[in-house]
Copies of this chain bind each other. A is one copy, B any other.
């Protein structure tokens, strides 16, 4: 594809030679002839002097000799360039003869049901959706249009998945919530989990992530939210839209997470809390209480990020502070001993 055509497709302006040929995307250091790269971070601008890329996606204010696509959001344009230059092959529509599809299931137009996938009774699969090998839809599960369910992904009974949802390999939607009542002898009796999970449109859920069904009503993942691998979402949790949940995060039951929240890796959130819109929790934060909208929190238990950074810096010096305190105690004790009686 020549640069001018790619610019047209991405809605960018061209600076320099629009006739140069671009066939691949690449990182700025590895790029060579035929590659287009990008700079979205000012830190990398100096590397443009040395890149061998045929073209680069940059902000208009970045100056370079390299033929350029100009845009206010180079990273987004890059994402789209990957899609344009490296279109992913789409499996052919059809149902593999080894798949087990219940006669009462409803398959939309042009679905792909791969080898050994299972579609239970009354389940529905939307148009153009792809079920990779070994996907399992339990009875009554619903999956929307244009979804991709990777191998081993599972949707339990009655759960509903929107349109354009991606489930990575082995993701489990609708496993039983962790609910037990204790009897007088201290033994636990299972509370049947009769709710469901609702996954709204444009959500992506990572490999080996579990989203538990609600005890009574629903667990819900809001539109456009992206969840990474090995995440645990407890029963009746509600997550808003455009939220990012990084790897190995755990959210306990009945907690509500707002819109445009970011939970970094290994964060833990206790149950029955409210995490406001726009909250950011840095990696490994442990959240035992509600968090106000817009907060940036860290630590365990979570406090405001700047306070945590300062306290952490002092933490590393605690043995020294302890020694200074002891020294001071000795000096002050000495003063008292040395001082003549004041009356």
Q: How often does this chain occur in the complex, in copies? A: 3
Instruction: State the Cβ distance, A75 to closest chain B Cβ, in Å.
Output: 4
Asked if B300 and A311 sit within 8 Å, CB to CB, the answer is no
- Return the contact of A252 from the options B72, B181, B182, B265 (Cβ within 8 A): B265
C-alpha gap A188/B100 in the complex (Å): 35
Q: Which residues of B contact A286 (CB under 8 A)?
A: 266, 283-284
| A161 in contact (CB, < 8 A) | no
Asked if B248 and A86 sit within 8 Å, CB to CB, the answer is no
Instruction: State the Cβ distance, A190 to closest chain B Cβ, in Å.
Output: 7
The residue on B at minimum CB distance from A194 is: B86
Q: Which residues of B contact A270 (CB under 8 A)?
A: 265, 283
Q: Which residues of B contact A64 (CB under 8 A)?
A: none
| A170 in contact (CB, < 8 A) | yes
Q: Which residues of B contact A207 (CB under 8 A)?
A: 172, 175, 210, 212
Instruction: State the Cβ distance, A104 to closest chain B Cβ, in Å.
Output: 14
Residues of A within 8 A of B (CB-CB), count: 114
C-alpha gap A176/B226 in the complex (Å): 12
Question: Which of A12-20, A44-52, A148-156 lies on the face that meets chain B?
Answer: A148-156
Asked if A118 and B133 sit within 8 Å, CB to CB, the answer is yes
Asked if A186 and B242 sit within 8 Å, CB to CB, the answer is yes
| A230 in contact (CB, < 8 A) | yes
Q: Given contacts A72-B184, A248-B268, A335-B339, list 8 more A-B pairs with CB under 8 A.
A: A78-B181, A88-B192, A98-B98, A136-B151, A178-B246, A266-B286, A314-B318, A321-B321
14 contacts between A and B (CB under 8 A): A25-B216, A75-B181, A152-B172, A154-B170, A168-B172, A169-B210, A187-B224, A265-B270, A268-B283, A303-B316, A310-B318, A318-B318, A328-B329, A335-B335
Instruction: Enumerate the 3 nearest inter-chain pairs by beta-carbon distance, A residue then B residue, closest first.
Output: A175-B207, A314-B318, A79-B181
